[in-house]
Amino acid sequence: MRQWGRHVMEQRSVQVAVAVAVRTFIELTREIRKTHRNILVPPDHKADFHISIGF
């Protein structure tokens, strides 16, 4: 039973890590879009990420 609890904790930390990575990625794309107008980043990227993670 203790092992199962650890597994749940690992799942949680993985979710948190993914969420942080996605947030960082979104911030980066926002900065890139601000500085380089010629780089095309679809604006619906953010929505797709949030849907896939389940926020």
Q: How many domains does the chain have?
A: 1
Tokens of 22: 């996605």
Q: Which tens digits make up the pLDDT trace of 44-54?
A: 555 555 555 55
Residue 49 is predicted with a pLDDT of: 54
CA distance 17 to 20: 5
CA distance 16 to 13: 5
The model carries a pTM of 0.45
CA distance 31 to 28: 5
Q: Name the more confident of 55 and 19.
A: 19
Range of the domain at 20: 2-53
